[in-house]
Structure 1
Amino acid sequence: MMDDRERIRFKMRRLRRQLDQHSSEWSAQAHRWLDWKYQVSQHPLLSVGIAAAAGYLLIPRKTPAVQVEIDEATRREIVKQLQRQQFNEPISQSPAVPTLWQTGVTIASQFLLRSAINYGVSQIDRLINSVQTATEHPSSDTFNAPGTHDIHSRNTPIPENNLHLYHG
């Protein structure tokens, strides 16, 4: 029969094991709760709603227009100053319109650039295809050793058992 000390030690060991087990479970649960990918996968509609609300709150609000009350004499004075300033400043030129020659050169240069890019891409594609073809189908002068068969490459060994499911 166990004495009191042994019983207490036994209970303490059992409690420690349970605490270790519970703490690892709680740690895993906390990790899942803090993992945003897990939360989005478990609650997609709620995630979209939270993202929409956050976007709405983060967009700055439009500041209202300030309305200033001025008397008639001040308004007339401002209009006079604006008219004087308008006539005293030089009239700005409208943006330059490209000539027919400039437009033609622009179109031709864009055509040549696109043609050069397309040619380069086709050459790279041709080179890649030729390398892939060479690796998939090596030249016919490779040596076939006994017990080998040409399925995908020249030197693919065939197992030497009695059951052959494929003969190509």
Structure 2
Amino acid sequence: MDDRERIRLKMRRLRRQLDHYSSEWSAQACRWLDWKFQVSQHPLLSVGIAAAAGYLLIPGKKAPVRVELDEATRKEIVKQLQIQQFKEPISQSPAVPTLWQTGVTIASQLLLRSAINYGVSQIDRLMNAERTVTETESPETMHSVYHEIDPHSSLEHDNDIHLYQRT
């Protein structure tokens, strides 16, 4: 191989290495400019930078403006405010209930709820009692006759024997 061929071969190798390195460097530069990558790699530093940026972006309080008025101007302003105050209709703010009214309201709601619950339980009891009577009665028991004998009287009187029949 002569010197020219060796130089050309070295140049090709250098170009390939430059292509490889340039693509690698551009990928690394993109990674370094990606804010998601930076936050994942440096979370505490990211939070600190965000806090500092927020502190710098929020404007500070402005100093209050102090106006010096003479006595005549101050009296005139107060007079105008009083006149304006009486011209405007007085708005009716809703009345705040007293402690007694609040207690009475709570007690009445509790009583109402208790009465409703008692009524519902009584209706439920009646419906369950009716349901159990109809469920326990069979065709044999519906036509059976029950005899009840009074133990204080003799068996001679028909009035002492009571016949009950369920219908």
Normalising TM by the smaller chain, what interval?
0.5 to 0.7
Q: How far did 1:21 drift?
A: 1.0
Aligned twin of 1:59: 58
Alpha-carbon displacement from aligned partner over 1:93-115 (angstroms, at most 9, x marks no partner): 21477xx8xxx9xxxxxxxxxxx
Q: Calculate percent identity across the aligned residue pairs.
A: 82
Aligned twin of 2:138: none
Aligned twin of 1:7: 6
Matched position secondary structure for 1:69: coil
2: CA distance between counterparts of 1:58 and 1:48? 15
Aligned twin of 1:82: 81
Q: How far did 1:58 drift?
A: 2.4
Alpha-carbon displacement from aligned partner over 1:82-139 (angstroms, at most 9, x marks no partner): 1111122221121477xx8xxx9xxxxxxxxxxxxxxxxxxxxxxxxxxxxxxxxxxx
Amino acid at match of 1:47: S
Map 1:1-168 → 2, pairs under 5 A: 1-4=1-4, 6-95=5-94
Number of residue equivalences: 102
1: CA distance between counterparts of 2:81 and 2:25? 73
2: CA distance between counterparts of 1:2 and 1:26? 34
2: CA distance between counterparts of 1:71 and 1:8? 95
Alpha-carbon displacement from aligned partner over 1:13-39 (angstroms, at most 9, x marks no partner): 011111111101111111110121221
Q: How far did 1:41 drift?
A: 1.8
Gaps of 5+ in 2: 97-104, 110-167
2: CA distance between counterparts of 1:89 and 1:70? 26
Question: Pairwise CA RMSD of aligned residues?
Answer: 2.5
- RCO (CA 8 Å, sep 6+): is it higher in 1 or 2? 2
Amino acid at match of 2:2: M
Amino acid at match of 2:77: I
Normalising to structure 2: TM-score of the pair?
A: 0.53
2: CA distance between counterparts of 1:36 and 1:66? 43
Q: How far did 1:49 drift?
A: 0.3
Alpha-carbon displacement from aligned partner over 1:32-81 (angstroms, at most 9, x marks no partner): 10121221122121111001111212223222221111111111110111
Gaps of 5+ in 1: 105-168
The structure in which a higher percent of residues are helix is: 2
2: CA distance between counterparts of 1:72 and 1:11? 95
1: CA distance between counterparts of 2:3 and 2:39? 54
